[in-house]
Amino acid sequence: MGKYLSLSSNHSSNKRSLEGLKTFSYLEELILDNNLLGNDLLLPRLPHLHTLMLNKNQITELESLLDHLAEVVPSLQYLSLLGNMACPNELVCKEKDEDDYQRYRYFVLHKLTNLKFLDTRKVTRREREEALVRGAFMKVVKPKASNDAASTSPEMHYTPLPSGSRDLTNHRGILGKCRYIYYGKHSEGNRFIRDDQL
């Protein structure tokens, strides 16, 4: 039974299914680079798999992928996700830098504690210690699109002015009476200034 399988650049117009891999239960190395695989990637349980290459795919959701890998490939030690949006680096996105990539490494190592290599770099002892302490907090959070904002009318914006002053053709000022008079002697800015400093 083979222990190494490469399915790189195996593009297919139909649904890309990896269900057939379950017949390779003793598989140790799997290369799935450049296959247009996305967030719906589902691997069968491969208990002996220690090396997985998923470079240059279309994976954007990191946490769900890591949770899935932790469940189905418990012996994983070598993982590479370069070329995916889920792996933040300057090759994929100009806005990302080395700090973004390092936070990504801490989060991956927090989820997959047995990794020895991540992408092209060996996992250091310091990274592993950092991942234990801070890895859970390195998750990239994306804002969700709010349906409430879409349901409100675009013409209705908040304004502190009374409704009578909202008419654009009506340019008169509004006068009001205020009960409080501000002299400034008790303001924060004046509290520490003495008269001789003025």
**Are 111 and 67 within 8 A, CB to CB?**
yes
Model pLDDT for residues 100-138, shown as the tens digit of each residue: 889 999 999 999 999 999 998 999 999 999 888 887 777
Question: Token pair 């009960």 is at which residue?
Answer: 179
Q: What is the CATH number of the domain that holds 87?
A: 3.80.10
**162 part of a folded domain:** no
The pair of structure tokens assigned to 191 is: 């509290």
In whole angstroms, what is the distance from residue 52 CA to residue 37 CA?
A: 14
**166 part of a folded domain:** no
What is the count of structural domains for the chain? Answer: 1
Rg (CA), the chain: 28
Model pLDDT for residues 134-187, shown as the tens digit of each residue: 877 777 655 555 555 555 555 556 666 556 555 556 555 555 666 665 565 555
Angle between helix axes 98-111 and 125-134 (nearest 10 degrees) is 80
Task: Judge whether residue 35 has pLDDT over 80.
Answer: yes
**148 part of a folded domain:** no
**116 part of a folded domain:** yes
**122 part of a folded domain:** yes
**160 part of a folded domain:** no
In whole angstroms, what is the distance from residue 124 CA to residue 116 CA?
A: 8
Reference 105, options 94, 183, 91, 86; nearest CA is: 86
**188 part of a folded domain:** no
| Residue range(s) defining the domain that contains residue 46 | 4-138
- In sign, the C-alpha dihedral spanning 123, 126, 129, 133 is negative
Specify the pTM. Answer: 0.66
**151 part of a folded domain:** no
Strand order in the sheet with 78-80: 4-6, 29-31, 51-53, 78-80, 117-118, 121-122
**Are 41 and 65 within 8 A, CB to CB?**
yes
Question: Token pair 């002015």 is at which residue?
Answer: 161
